[in-house]
A and B are shown apart, each in its own frame.
Chain A
Amino acid sequence: MVKLKIDNFDVEVEAGTSILDAARKAQINIPTLCKHPDVDPSAGCGLCIVKVGGRIMRSCCTPVAEGMEIITSDEDLKDIRKTVLKLILSNHPNDCLNCSRSGQCELQDMASEMGIDQNEIIKMLSQEPKDETSGAIVLDPSKCIVCGRCVNICQNVQNVWALSYLHRGFVTKITGANDKKLADSPCIRCGQCAAHCPTGAITDYDNTQKVSALLNNKENITVVQIAPAVRVALGEEFGFEFGSNLTGKIYAALRRLGFAKVFDTNFGADLTIIEEASEFVKRFTGNDNLPMFTSCCPAWVDYLEKYYPENIPNLSSCKSPHQMVGAIAKTYWAEKAGIDPAKVKVVSVMPCTAKKWEIGRDDTMNSSGYKDVDEVITTRELAKMIKAAGINFKALKEEEADNPLGEYSGAATIFGVTGGVMTAALRTAYYYITGKELKTLNFKAIEGLDAVKVAEVEIKKIKVRIAVVNGVGNVEPVMEAINKAKAEGTELPFHFVEVMACPGGCIAGGGQPRVMGATFEKPWGINDGIRKLRSQGLNTEDEKAKNRLSHKNKSIKKLYDDYLGEAGGEKAHHLLHTKYQKRPLYK
């Protein structure tokens, strides 16, 4: 432990702590626009300066030392910070009134807190055009303050390397290599850059207008589904505690927005498990293309297609849950309800920006004969639609989903958390192999936020080796171990591997609410504490669920009996499975 004085108060922190973090422990907030708990300090913005024994230093990247005497705020520092912020603002358009980040912008908030009421520095704005090519996120260089969080996340956390700093000084630009547009770069559309951007420089590709248009066309029967992770995060936009599970209220809000039917992606998650567990049992017993990788996460699928095309046969061929719901809604449900499937429009509310791209990734996404899912909006976009419609979300009474595409098990709801898909699949795979239910339904070893979690599960005396990769940036060593064993013909390290691209899983997806805090709860945005609370919201629902097993979902059983036939059978294969292709890193 290191003892030091911050603003004349005695503070004791662990060696290696930065001055910035040490000050937070002492309830003192030092402003910053670039340091974020998810990334290493980059010393980018220059706002976090403090005086250490009279010398001015950046607190984010200066570790504490024994006996340090630190001043975090005096007239000098306030003056310099104000100038630094004014310089940042001089390169930032005064577009707040028509910016999608307005009211939820760290830069705007910082300007207000520092009392910037005029800026005498001449504006010099970037004339770079927006990059909307990815169809999932929008890069607006004119609003970029070059804090570097997105580049840091893209390169060092996600290991995707789509974004980079090009050039230097005033003309520094955040873009792809050789100025490639995002759609032509290795970008997997995970949206972690958008989730960490402090300004309006990286935002959702907004589909709310298109959804409104679907709803306004009276010819349409527009149905909606919500992903598991949406229910434990949307509340943050309306003043609820982190992790509040608001499924019933969200259903109610969706009906008020005008959706004809409210379905749940969790139904699709149960359906995924039936298909995926059957597929795994078949591949495991037949030693066919092992290990099997989960395929629910479109950003992970995209990553594998780009970075590990040789491993395409290892991916499960199952579509992701919301694609399954789309396909079933436009076939089975439309038929049952006696509706022309051409009139059915499916909207998915997702914690994810990559889902916006997934709905058009290839022709298997049109398995119903129509586009299986018509539009995708993120949790953030749903919050905007609810606010714009003047719905008093907090006061809404809870409602139920519409059946049969609304029933779900506890296994489905944990799809939104790292380790959840694996847990759900094992529960059902165990039953398929042994004919019995697992005694304990949870696998402690694969819960939590560790980078790679491994376990052995004994099924009928056979040890099934599993791995759960929390965040696509952690997948490299796992792939290397697998491909080394394959090349050398030695025993595979794993049989079944779950990968979710976003750290923490979908609960911290690129489309989730940007956590906004009061002055002290800074920086805004996701962190591990919030990841845990959101996960808990889903895990608690699973623990309390009457049915915690996908194969016991009665509506799913009926779907197979009445319509699909066998799991993995011809009809199921056509509607619920997809194919993969090698994709170039750069076009």
Chain B
Amino acid sequence: MDKEPCLGCQVGEKWRKKRGSLIMALHEIQGAKGYVEWSDAVSLAETMQVPLARIYEVLTFYNFFKLVAPGKAVISVCTGTACYLKGNDKVLEKFKSELKIKEGESTPDGLFHLQCVRCVGCCGLAPVCVVNGKTYGRMTPEQVPEILNEWRETFKEA
């Protein structure tokens, strides 16, 4: 059986002839897989005839792009002005120490991904965190273990 052509090659083949289309190609890879893997970047570089160094310049410049598979539950801690002043920095620290990861990273078990966002549009509830679309307002560091357990349970049931 023929091996299915890799994602990087397919996407590369599609965008190869269009100038300045690297970002679109990267969006497409991330859209399909959730992140841009090394092997896909390598084959994209080959197919599009773009140096790999340039691809990683783009991937790391825009923090939208992810280089590793994100966790199932994406925890967004708002560090916009209101949330930050209301103490979300301490909440962020608590998430980091509980999960033993830094912002922008995922836990090795693939359950959680931690990221910072600037304002989610409900400053009245500050400090705010959002996990997979569910909003948690008036956060305190003490709530962090509870929330994590809640999501662990959710994934266990599923």
Contact = CB atoms under 8 A, between A and B. Distances in A.
A162 interface: yes
B52 A166 contact: no
A178 B41 contact: yes
B143 interface: no
A177 B54 CA distance: 8
Interface string A316-335: 00000000000000000000
B51 A178 contact: no
Contacts of B41: 177-178
Contacts, number: 38
Contacts of B54: 155, 161, 164
A186 B57 CA distance: 15
Contacts of A586: 42, 52
Interface string A176-211: 111000000010000000000000000000000000
Contacts of B60: 166-168
B66 to A, nearest CB: 13
B1 interface: no
Interface in B40-54: 41-42, 51-54
A163 interface: yes
B25 to A, nearest CB: 16
A162 B53 CA distance: 7
A165 interface: yes
Contacts of B155: none
Contacts of A162: 53
A71 interface: no
Contact of A164 (B38, B42, B57, B67): B57
A274 B53 CA distance: 41
Contact of B55 (A168, A177, A186): A177
Contacts of A161: 51-54
A518 B60 CA distance: 39
A83 B141 CA distance: 40
B64 interface: no
Given A178-B41, A178-B67, A586-B42, A163 B61 contact: no
A164 B52 CA distance: 9
Interface residues of A, number: 15
A178 B61 contact: no
Nearest to A178: B56
A51 to B, nearest CB: 32
Contacts of B53: 155, 161-164, 176-177, 186
Nearest to A185: B53
A155 B51 CA distance: 9
Contacts of A585: 52
Interface in A129-150: none
Nearest to B46: A585
Nearest to A167: B60
Contacts of B67: 178
A166 B57 contact: yes
Contacts of A186: 53
Contacts of A166: 56-57, 60
A562 B47 CA distance: 55
Contacts of A164: 53-54, 56-57
B51 A167 contact: no
B40 to A, nearest CB: 12
A177 B61 contact: no
A168 B63 CA distance: 9
A167 B57 CA distance: 7
Contacts of A167: 60-61
Interface centre among A176, A177, A586 (most CB of B within 10 A): A177
Contacts of A177: 41, 51-53, 55-56
A167 B67 CA distance: 12
B42 A168 contact: no
Contacts of B55: 177
A227 to B, nearest CB: 30
Interface in B84-112: none
Contact of A165 (B42, B51, B52, B57): B57
A165 B60 CA distance: 9
Nearest to B38: A178
A586 B56 CA distance: 13
Contacts of B51: 155, 161, 177
B64 to A, nearest CB: 13
A165 B54 CA distance: 8
A475 B60 CA distance: 30
A186 B52 CA distance: 10
B102 to A, nearest CB: 12
A131 to B, nearest CB: 15
Nearest to A162: B53
Interface in A148-178: 155, 161-168, 176-178
A178 B54 CA distance: 10
Contacts of B52: 161, 177-178, 585-586
A166 B41 CA distance: 15
Nearest to B45: A177
A164 B38 CA distance: 16
Nearest to B57: A164
26 contacts: A155-B51, A155-B53, A155-B54, A161-B51, A161-B52, A161-B53, A161-B54, A162-B53, A163-B53, A164-B53, A164-B57, A165-B57, A165-B61, A166-B56, A166-B60, A167-B60, A167-B61, A168-B60, A168-B61, A177-B41, A177-B52, A178-B41, A178-B52, A178-B56, A585-B52, A586-B52
Interface of B: 38, 41-42, 51-57, 60-61, 67
| Top 10 closest pairs, chain A to chain B, by CB | A164-B53, A161-B51, A177-B56, A177-B52, A161-B53, A166-B60, A177-B53, A167-B60, A164-B57, A168-B61
Given A166-B60, A178-B67, 10 more contacts: A161-B51, A165-B57, A167-B60, A168-B60, A176-B53, A177-B41, A177-B51, A178-B52, A186-B53, A586-B52
